[in-house]
């Protein structure tokens, strides 16, 4: 497959990342022309300053990694991230509400971020490893109802990452209304291609360089 680099959100979400690590991430993303860098909110302004004259988007995470902060907090975090230069927001749903079948509250939570995003791209992380197939379908429907842009498999910080089965189910559910991002546990070039063939249009990984150079990587994210 051609242009695999354009599928990649070059990711660094570790708590111990320092400024030089973030800068290196940006330089790598620029060199390899990845779709975006994905960083914790504190580092958005740094990435924006480095990448503002490039085609690489700055993506950040909202309500990360548990999704259990209030909708008001998620919305405010979103507004601050955009002010700092974020163009894409990867938000975590309230997983407990979904599993308790409090569907309207899940939709409202996503809507709060979509509204605060003010037209910026919103990817909804549903943490598939914690959900049944029926719950995955429900989460995707909530994201569609809330007018998000993507559904995303995983944070990379829970009990598992993306699977082909989950990506296929998500794509079958959202059809052409939303796109699908696969993240977590993608360790080879073949893994990445399989995710794309299953319906993913973005790949979240901290090992994008190795993946496009067909080198196997270790680790969860």
Residue 8 tokens read as 């990649």
SS3 58: strand
Q: Of the listed 87, 111, 123, 181, which one is catalytic?
A: 181
Return left, alpha or beta for 34; rule: phi > 0 is left, psi -120 to 50 is alpha, else beta: beta
The pair of structure tokens assigned to 96 is 């407990």
Is 197 catalytic? The answer is: no
> In the annotation, is 181 catalytic?
yes
Catalytic residue among 84, 152, 171, 191: 152
Catalytic, out of 9, 90, 109, 191: 90
Nearest CA among 110, 115, 92, 90 for reference residue 39 = 90
Q: Which residues contact 9 (CB under 8 A, 6 or more apart)?
A: 34, 35, 36, 37, 38, 59, 88, 181, 183, 202, 203, 204, 205
152 assigned to active site: yes
Query: Which distant-in-sequence residues (6+ apart) come within 8 Å of 110 by Cβ?
Result: 91, 93, 122, 124, 142, 143, 146, 148
Catalytic (active-site) positions: 90, 152, 181
């Amino acid at each position: 497959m051609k242009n695999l680099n354009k599928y990649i959100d070059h990711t660094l979400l570790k708590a111990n990342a320092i400024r030089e690590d973030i800068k290196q991430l940006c330089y790598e993303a620029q060199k390899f022309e990845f779709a975006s860098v994905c960083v914790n909110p504190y580092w958005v302004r740094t990435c924006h300053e480095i990448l503002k004259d490039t085609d690489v988007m700055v993506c950040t995470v909202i309500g990360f990694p548990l999704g259990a902060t209030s909708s008001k907090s998620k919305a405010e975090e979103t507004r601050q991230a955009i002010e700092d230069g974020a163009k894409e927001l990867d938000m975590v749903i309230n997983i407990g509400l979904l599993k308790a079948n409090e569907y309207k509250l899940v939709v409202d939570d996503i809507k709060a971020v979509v509204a605060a995003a003010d037209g910026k791209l919103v990817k909804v992380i549903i943490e598939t490893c914690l959900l049944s197939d029926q719950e995955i379908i429900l989460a995707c429907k909530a994201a569609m109802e809330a007018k998000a842009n993507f559904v995303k498999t995983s944070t990379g910080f829970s009990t598992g990452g993306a699977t082909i089965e989950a990506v296929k189910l998500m794509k079958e559910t959202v059809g052409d209304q939303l796109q699908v991002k696969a993240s977590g546990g993608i360790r080879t070039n073949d893994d990445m291609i399989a995710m794309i063939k299953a319906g993913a249009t973005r790949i979240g990984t901290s090992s994008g360089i190795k993946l496009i150079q067909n080198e196997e990587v270790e680790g969860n994210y």
